[in-house]
Amino acid sequence: MSNDINMDEIINKIISGMSLRQISKQYQIDRNSLKARCIEYFKNDPSELEAFERVIRNNKANSWREEIVSQETLEEICLSLCEKRDNLRSIACRLNLTEETLSEKLFQFLSIPRNKELARKYIAYQATLHPDYSHINFKALIVEMIKNDMSQSQIAEQYGIPVRTIGREIEKLREDDEYKELYEICKEYSNRKIKRKPFSSFEQLLLSSVIEKYENEGPIIVEGGKSKRRLQYEKAKANVEKAEQIEGTEAEKAKALGIGISTLRRNRIFVERYEREQEIILGDE
């Protein structure tokens, strides 16, 4: 990347909504070099770099609607995959996209409520590739189940996931101090469903206040290990950033966030490791 490139101009265009991929094409700049220059541009102000990264994430999330793949095309791609008429790699190659980019477009498309039937087919297809259902974010699924007043069998039917699999994932929450409260709510909720004993108005308010803590778990369908890791990073990063704004000891900060001190410590370690590996979304597009 030439030194005579006007970085102020490029930064302003990105802040105005252009994605890194669009900038790369317009200026004939290698994306890795562009990423390095952007990081260099903000090296003396980490908070500005973090804000810029958020802009990049937002631009990338919005650009899928405008570029290359229409919703009709995404529907056909999804059906082609579900019916095993094609595979993701060859489709991405024909569209001149990376597999990761095409996956993200698909998952955004399948997260739209009106596409739930298609999402169900896609989950069933993915289960043939990942019988452990690693493509499902079960924490987000459990939150949706409670928010929509559904039983385990109802949510299982809606997404085509075995009830016993959902039950196993709920039990896993018992040993996670960050999700123990969600586990307890979930068990009581399931018990009430079985006994057909509704929550009182006051209990509903308490239930809603607990569920609000877990509403940012991300999408239900995820693209596999790397995507789950990125979701984990974003959640851990949010906790770390919030902790920095809270005065007091580590124990007081963790309590204010509603998590254990060991969880906050693990969040810090994970964020440092993830960012050290330079896998943050700034370099993806």
Better-scored residue on pLDDT, 240 or 26: 240
The confidence band for 79, taking pLDDT boundaries of 50, 70 and 90, is: very high
Q: How far apart are CA 177 and CA 18, in angstroms?
A: 40
Q: What is the mean pLDDT of the chain?
A: 80
In sequence order, the β-bridge partners of residue 221 are: 136
Better-scored residue on pLDDT, 97 or 23: 23
Query: Which of 26-40, 52-66, 190-204, 224-238 bottoms out in mean pLDDT, i.e. has the lowest?
Result: 52-66
Q: How far apart are CA 182 and CA 213, in angstroms?
A: 9
The pLDDT of residue 67 is 52
The pLDDT of residue 4 is 65
- From the list 127, 147, 146, 145, the residue with the least C-alpha distance to 136 is 127
Q: What is the pLDDT of residues 223-264, one digit of tens each?
A: 654 456 667 788 888 899 999 999 999 999 999 888 889 999
Better-scored residue on pLDDT, 67 or 37: 37
- Tell me the CA distances in angstroms from 173 to 13, 155, 181, 208, 226, one per residue in order: 44, 18, 9, 19, 21
Q: What are phi and psi of 134, to 5 degrees?
A: -70, -10
- The label of the residue with tokens 């929550």 reads 199
Task: Quickly count: other Cβ atoms within 10 Å of residue 284's Cβ.
Answer: 19
Q: What is the largest CA-CA distance in the chain?
A: 71
**1-37 per-residue burial string, b: 16 or more CB within 10 A, e: under 16:** eeeeeeeeebbebbeeebbbbbbbeeeebeeeebbeb
Please determine, for residue 282, whether its predicted confidence score (pLDDT) is greater than 60: no
Interval 9-38 mean pLDDT: 80
Q: What is the pLDDT of residues 129-155, one digit of tens each?
A: 878 888 888 988 999 888 888 888 999
Name the token pair of 190: 């399931």
Better-scored residue on pLDDT, 82 or 2: 82
pTM equals 0.54
Interval 255-276 mean pLDDT: 87
- Whether the Cβ atoms of residue 186 and residue 173 lie closer than 8 Å to each other: yes
Angle at which helices 46-63 and 20-27 pack, to 10 degrees?
90
The pLDDT of residue 249 is 92
- Residues, the chain, total? 285
Please determine, for residue 220, whether its predicted confidence score (pLDDT) is greater than 60: yes
The confidence band for 284, taking pLDDT boundaries of 50, 70 and 90, is: very low
Secondary structure class of 130 (helix, strand, coil): coil
- Whether the Cβ atoms of residue 68 and residue 74 lie closer than 8 Å to each other: no
Name the token pair of 109: 């498309």
The confidence band for 170, taking pLDDT boundaries of 50, 70 and 90, is: very high
- From the list 51, 47, 57, the residue with the least C-alpha distance to 20 is 57
